[in-house]
Every structure is written in structure tokens, then in C-alpha cells.
């Protein structure tokens, strides 16, 4: 009788930033549902463990703060994919306070990009950005920037830093985030930052995970995504439906 051959299967190392956030929690839940092992890069491990209550056999926690480059390099060591759903939570924050949009969405995000470049695995970085980042004079952009210490402005410069980094990346720009049920409506994707609307956080999480498995087609792509307002529009479910949604998207000129 022939000896059975064993094939070593190395699970891709997926690292999530912003895992404790409202979008990040959906990402984590979906990874667990898919039985995908993941590393959750969080500022406070004890708090995150209690808040997320995820299975130990699938999720590992690592302490990481976007203000600390060393912690970021440790967190992304060996990663194949980094999912970024963190962001400043500061309203009217002082520009240089540690939770301001400038510090988190620009300086901290850039440190994460540097960390991904520094490790030999050079992970694919899937960034959650936002619509309106290039529409500086749109009334809604003026309002959001005024309320958030220029979050859209700093996110745009974070995007630009990532695009010029040489890393594999996908930039997802959702509309105004809402906590409605995922998969409840169809989705519309577009490029050029003219799309307006809202997006369920659960749908953003799903779209980001779809980007992971479509790195060949969605690597080097920036796109907006909002809920469809068309009556009876259905969320994509099958591979073919996701492919049809993403099909028209083009690679960024710089990629
Ligand atoms: N609000 C909107 O309408 C809107 C629209 C488009 C795009 N977005 C973007 O979508 C993303 C997700 O938004 P959300 O509302 O789901 O997020 P959220 O609930 O505000 O969560 C933010 C996450 O970022 C983490 N974080 C903040 N500062 C950090 C730091 N210095 N180091 C490490 N982690 C840090 C937080 O961790 P802790 O638990 O440690 O605080 C938390 O997990 C963000 O990038 C946001 O800017 C938002």
C-alpha cells in the first residue's frame, strides 16, 4: 500500500486593522464564518477580546497602534493581506491630537504602508477610504471636513501615499456608513468620485473581503461603492454576480 502523501497547506495570513470598529467587526465576523484564520491588530488586546468574543482557534490578537511604527511592523510580519478599516473617531479634533484625522488617517496610515513595505511578505493592502475625498468643494465634503478635522482631505493623501508605495493595493470608497443589514440591497460601484449615497457597514466588509479573493482583477484599483436605490435591486451573492459588479472597473492610471 502506498503511503499517504501530505500537502502542507499554509493559510494566508490576513491582518485586520480597525477590528473593534463598526465595520471591522463585520469583517471579523465574516472571516470567522469563512473559517479564515486572522490576526486582529488592536490597540488594547484585553478590551478587544471581551468586545469581539471570537474563537481562539481562528483569531490571534496582536497589539498595534497606528501611532507606533514598530508595533505595525510586528503586526504585519508575514501577512499576505492587510484589511484597513480603522479611522479617526475624533469630532472637531485638534489637528495634532493623537486621534485626529491627520494623525490617524494620514500619518498613522502612512506608517502602516511603510510597515507593509518593510516586511518581506509585502501584503496586499485593502484600504477603506471614502467617497468625496477628491470632491473638496462639494457641500457635504465641506461639512464632513469641517466636522472631522479634514478627514476626507487626509484620507485622500493617505490614498495617494499608498498608490505611490509600490505595494499591491485596493482602495474601497464607501458612501456614508450606516448600520443597516448587509446584503439587503444591490450595490453600485463607480470610479471618479461622482457616486453619492450610503453604504451599509456590513456591505463594506463584504466588498473588502471580495477584494481579497480578486486581487488579480482588483489589485491597483480604486472604486466607490454605495447601496443601490433601485426598487427590487438584489445584493450580489454568487461569484458570477460579484464578477459582473466589479467587471467594468479599471486599474488606476498610476498602477
Ligand atoms: N462614518 C462614515 O460615514 C464613513 C464614510 C466613509 C468611510 N468611512 C471610513 O470607514 C472606516 C470604518 O469606519 P467605522 O465607522 O466603521 O469605524 P469606527 O467604528 O469609528 O472604528 C474605528 C476603528 O479605528 C481604530 N483606531 C482608531 N485609532 C487607531 C489607532 N491609532 N491605532 C489603531 N487603531 C485605531 C479603532 O480602534 P479602538 O477600538 O482601539 O478605538 C476602531 O477599531 C473608517 O476608515 C472611516 O473613516 C466612514
Q: Whose CA is nearest to atom 5 of ligand 1?
A: 176
Where in the sequence is the domain holding 70, given as residue range(s)?
14-172+199-219
| DSSP letters for the chain | -PPPP----PPP-EEEESTTSHHHHHHHHHHHHTT--EEEEES-HHHHHHHH---TTTEEEEE--TT-HHHHHHHHTT-SEEEE------SS--TTSTTSHIIIIIIIHHHHHHHHHHSTT-PEEEEE--TTTT-TTSHHHHHHHHHHTSHHHHHHHHHHHHHTT---EEEEEE-EEE-PPTTSS-EEEESSS----EEEHHHHHHHHHHHHHTHHHHTTEEEEEEE--STT-----SHHHHHHHHTT----TT-
Q: Coil, strand, or helix at residue 163?
A: helix
Residue 107 lies in a domain: yes
What is the sign, positive or negative, of the torsion defined by CA atoms of 130, 133, 138, 143? positive
Residue 26 lies in a domain: yes
Residue 100 lies in a domain: yes
- Could you give the number of structural domains in the chain? 1
| CA 28/CA 252 separation, integer angstroms | 28
Residue 209 lies in a domain: yes
pLDDT of residue 12: 74
Residues of the chain with pLDDT under 50: 1-9
State in Å: Cα 64 to ligand 1 middle.
14
Kindly report the length of the chain.
Answer: 255
pLDDT of residue 96: 66
pLDDT of residue 6: 38
pLDDT of residue 2: 41
For residue 24, give the ligand 1 atom closest to its CA: 16
State in Å: Cα 154 to ligand 1 middle.
14
pLDDT of residue 94: 63
pLDDT of residue 52: 97
Cβ atoms 70, 118 nearer than 8 A:
no
State in Å: Cα 68 to ligand 1 middle.
17
Q: Best of 86, 106, 171 to mutate for ligand 1, by most ligand atoms within 8 A of CB?
A: 86
Residue 184 lies in a domain: no
State in Å: Cα 72 to ligand 1 middle.
16
Residue 97 lies in a domain: yes
For residue 178, give the ligand 1 atom closest to its CA: 3
pLDDT of residue 1: 40
State in Å: Cα 6 to ligand 1 middle.
42
State in Å: Cα 110 to ligand 1 middle.
15
pLDDT of residue 11: 64
Residue 189 lies in a domain: no
Q: Which helix (H) or strand (E) holds 204?
A: helix 201-213
Q: Which residue has 444591490 as its cell numbers?
A: 186
For residue 103, give the ligand 1 atom closest to its CA: 31
In this structure, the residues whose C-beta lies within 6 A of any atom of ligand 1 are 17-18, 20-24, 42-43, 65-67, 85-87, 89, 104, 108, 128, 130, 151, 174, 176-177, 201
Residue 253 lies in a domain: no
Give pLDDT tens digits for 52-88.
999 999 999 999 999 999 999 999 999 999 999 999 9
The CATH number that applies at residue 89 is 3.40.50.720
Amino acid at each position: 500500500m502506498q503511503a499517504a502523501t501530505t500537502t502542507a497547506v499554509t493559510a494566508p495570513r490576513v491582518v485586520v486593522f480597525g477590528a473593534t470598529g463598526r465595520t471591522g467587526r463585520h469583517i471579523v465576523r465574516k472571516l470567522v464564518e469563512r473559517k479564515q484564520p486572522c490576526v486582529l491588530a488592536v490597540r488594547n488586546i484585553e478590551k478587544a477580546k471581551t468586545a469581539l468574543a471570537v474563537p481562539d482557534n481562528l483569531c490571534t490578537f496582536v497589539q498595534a497602534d497606528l501611532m507606533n511604527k514598530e508595533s505595525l511592523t510586528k503586526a504585519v510580519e508575514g501577512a499576505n493581506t492587510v484589511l484597513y478599516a480603522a479611522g479617526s473617531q475624533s469630532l472637531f479634533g485638534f489637528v495634532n491630537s493623537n486621534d485626529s484625522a491627520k494623525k490617524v488617517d494620514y500619518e498613522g496610515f502612512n506608517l502602516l504602508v511603510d510597515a507593509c513595505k518593510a516586511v518581506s511578505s509585502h501584503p496586499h493592502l485593502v484600504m477603506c477610504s471614502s467617497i468625496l475625498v477628491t470632491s473638496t468643494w462639494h457641500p457635504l465634503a465641506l461639512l464632513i471636513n469641517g466636522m472631522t478635522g479634514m478627514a476626507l482631505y487626509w484620507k485622500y493623501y493617505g490614498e495617494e501615499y499608498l498608490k505611490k508605495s509600490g505595494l499591491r493595493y485596493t482602495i474601497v470608497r464607501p458612501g456614508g456608513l450606516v448600520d443597516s443589514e448587509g446584503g439587503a440591497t444591490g450595490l453600485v460601484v463607480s470610479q471618479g468620485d461622482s457616486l453619492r449615497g450610503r453604504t451599509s457597514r456590513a456591505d463594506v466588509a463584504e466588498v473588502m473581503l471580495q477584494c481579497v479573493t480578486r486581487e488579480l482583477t482588483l489589485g491597483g484599483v480604486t472604486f466607490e461603492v454605495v447601496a443601490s436605490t433601485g426598487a427590487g435591486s438584489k445584493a450580489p451573492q454568487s461569484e458570477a454576480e460579484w464578477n459582473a459588479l466589479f467587471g467594468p472597473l479599471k486599474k488606476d492610471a498610476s498602477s
